[in-house]
Structure 1
Amino acid sequence: MTNFTPHTRVLIDTDADFDDYLAMLYLLKHPAVQVTGITVTGTGDVHLTPGVRNISNMLTLLDDPAALKIPVARGAQAPMIYSNTFPGSDRTAANEHYNAEFPSTNPTPTLDCAHTFLRDYFINSTTPTTVLCIGGGSNYGKLFESAKNDPELHAALQKNITRIVMMGGNLLPEFTPPGFAGAEGNIQATMQPTPYYTNKVAEWNIFVDVRGAEEIFSSGIPITLVALNATQQVPITDAFVAQIKQINNPATNFLYAVLTSSTIKGGIGKYLDFWDPLAACVLTTPSLVTTQTLPLRVEQQLNEEDDKSGMIIVDKQRGHLLDVALSANASAVYNTYLEIIAR
């Protein structure tokens, strides 16, 4: 068993997709992590109201009175720009938490405004916090935008956010450094058999709010971007699902039900990767991935006939320096994840 030194304070921003549950439960079980709040965005997979309820009730899986008191806050109802959304069937499944059961209803009330919660949190913080962004970037995009006219908040964010670890984006082959594999977008792949977007170059977390992502990139906060280039090297396989089943604790039983639900099981071993849980693992164990520091920006322009909005561009003139995870040690990732989720 690995020795851990507590505690890294972590705020999670989520759209409550199936892989978000994998990521959040890993951090909630990690002995070196203290999750100090969860903000939910309605600009990703889940709709906002059921998403907030689901994340609050997810905390009952931990059988820990302290976990029930972790603040869960209602975030953005719309992206900062455009109106890109997941397919309706995917959103319905996320709203219904993939028909997997929570043990009970969390009695702790949720918070009505993520922006107010985050502003108060960072201004009053005495200990720096790491942020995990595993949904569309609307909540933190709006927070950083508002900080431009709020000097107190701007100073608090710069002082009290240690790093943002963000699952999102992909470097196309033409932008990928030598020695690393390029990654196409995943909009088309996850909308089969009838894609309704023309975009072939973006990744979903960036695509749903391209301006929100750019606001985060330009925030001046150190960022580790866990891109599809790395996550595609860690597929969710039948063997991984079988290992989750064998652990047999409340969290893994829930995860197994999600992974074998009618919406998710068809993608196992095909197009579903360790998207958000890889970002969570990188937050605690950065050595699991190889990173490159690159100047990146997010394409903002929308062209519905040949859409490239959300494309991640290496741009020495206008880009912002980010550490980009471009490859991953798959066996080490699986082992790291399973060690913690079994605790």
Structure 2
Amino acid sequence: MPTRIPVLIDTDVDFDDYMAMLYLLMHPGVNVQGITVTGSGDVHLSHGVRNVNDMLLLLDDPAIHATPVAAGARAPMIYSNTFPYDARKAADEHYEAEFPGSNPKPVIRDAVSFLKDYLRSCRQPVTVLCIGGGSNWGRLFQQAGADPELRRCCQQKISRIVMMGGNLLPRYVGEERGAEGNIQPTLGDQPYYTNKVAEWNIFIDPLGAQYIFDSGIPITLVALNATQQVPITQALVEQLAAIDNAPARFLTQVLNSSTIAPGIGKYLDFWDPLAAEVLVDASLVHTERFTLRVEQQLDEEDDHSGELIPDTDGAVIEVAMSADRERVYTEFLKVISQYTA
């Protein structure tokens, strides 16, 4: 049998994180080794840890139920950016969707301690899917900067990082290939930010993202340039609703929730699930190599923090610039539909 890809997932448990996590948990070629939760992102930390543990019950597999879930950052490494109140409340309440119950034996660890222990003991290099604000891995790599043994361990034991985040603006790559930031379309009434250039995951914790970029580990950044080509459509929701299993029913409830449904076909894209699919099959996107840094400076009147800036002194990053839309949809539905319990 082919070797299953060992994977660590870092998540802020947004609606599309559920799509990504369930895709990887159900994929026959993937072995999810642990899930770290960040409270610097959409969900509040305690709610996110509980929600991920309960999500595992959607799959009828005791080994999956025992997947370690680690509680990580309660705040970003820099600033205090946060999602709007309504978005966080919806994430905390798992978008009105129902879990089968409460996980009776949750395995809960501290995120950075769990990651250190895992990397020191694992025998096979692991792939990381980073679909949160980057605060957990940023803290680990910050510590690795002052700990040569931990730094060597990270570089030897992590084969690559697939990270959903960021965008290359039109002024850097041209109008046809560029992507504007996605802060403004999802703000609602509060909180108020002036940032028009960043993507949410990077905006939440630009310092955490910079530490990840500077880790020396190969990174594939699934940016808005690619995800904007794969919108979440009503047709996709209907195809998902036609699948008769617990994960599909849960995801359909999430997408039909009062918070998420209004954005279907408008401003919601296949953000995190595209990153999860790219982890398994890189041919779903076209990547280009850039040297990038993350803008750290905050200006409340004209904020550019979190902007990805091409810079010859930056980190070398493979950036997904386009995606094969129909193949992405087909692959996602295939994996979700194969589950029969």
TM-aligned CA deviation for residue 194 of structure 1: 5.8
Deviation at 1:108, TM superposition (A): 2.0
State whether residues 184 and 196 of structure 2, in contact with CA within 8 Å, keep that contact through their aligned partners in structure 1.
yes
Report the CA distance between 1:111 and its aligned residue.
Answer: 2.0
Point out 4+ residue stretches in structure 1 off by more than 3 angstroms. 192-195
- Say how many residue pairs are matched: 338
Task: State the distance in 1 between where 2:205 and 2:107 align.
Answer: 24
d(CA) in 1 for partners of 2:189, 2:115? 39
Q: What is the SS of the residue equivalent to 2:108?
A: coil
2:35 aligned partner: 38
2:59 is the counterpart of 1:62:
yes
Aligned CA RMSD, in angstroms, stands at 1.2
- Please state how far the C-alpha of 1:110 moved relative to its aligned partner: 3.3
**Could you tell me which amino acid in structure 2 is paired with residue 239 of structure 1?**
A
Give the distance between the partners of 1:112 and 1:131, measured in 2 at CA. Answer: 18
State the distance in 1 between where 2:202 and 2:161 align: 15
Identity of aligned residues (%): 62
3-state secondary structure, aligned to 1:162:
strand
1:321 equivalent in structure 2: 316
- Unaligned 5+ segments in structure 1 are none
Note the C-alpha offset of 1:42.
0.1
8 Å contact 2:294–2:308 — kept in the other structure?
yes
1:6 & 1:139 partners in 2: Cα distance?
A: 28
Question: 1:117 is matched with which residue?
Answer: 114
1:241 is aligned, of 232, 237, 247, to 237
SS of 2:36's equivalent in the other structure is: strand
User: Any conservation in 1 of the 2:84–2:190 contact (CA below 8 Å)?
Assistant: no
Maintained 8 Å contact 1:48/1:77: yes
Q: Give the structure 1 partner of residue 283 of structure 2.
A: 287
Q: Per the alignment, in what secondary structure is the counterpart of residue 297 of structure 1?
A: strand
What pairs with 1:300-339 in structure 2 (closer than 5 Å)? Answer: 300-316=296-312, 318-339=313-334
CA distance in 1, matches of 2:121, 2:148: 14
- Structure 2 partner of 1:226: 222
1:12 equivalent to 2:9? Answer yes
Match of 2:200 in 1: 204
Distance 2:5 2:224 in 1: 26
Q: In the alignment, does 2:103 pair up with 1:103?
A: no
* Cα shift at 1:180: 5.2
Q: What whole-Å deviation, never above 9, does each CA across 1:190-233 have from its counterpart, x for those lacking one?
A: 11356610000000000000000000001000000000000000
TM-score, L = length of structure 2: 0.97
Aligned-partner residue type, residue 129 of structure 2: L
Q: Which residue identity lines up with residue 71 of structure 2 in the other structure?
A: R
CA–CA distance in 2 between the matches of 1:89 and 1:319?
36
2:127 is the alignment partner of 1:130: yes
Question: Cα deviation per residue 1:285-319 (whole Å; 9 max; x = unaligned)?
Answer: 10000000110110000000000000001111x21
Instruction: Provide the rounded CA distance (Å) in 2 between the counterparts of 1:307 and 1:322.
Output: 24
User: SS of the counterpart of 1:247?
Assistant: coil
TM-superposition CA deviations, 1:17-67 (whole Å, max 9, x none): 000000000000000000000000000000000000000110000011110
Which AA in structure 2 matches 1:248?
D
Q: 1:169·1:203 contact (CA, 8 Å) conserved in 2?
A: yes
Aligned counterpart, 2:91? 94
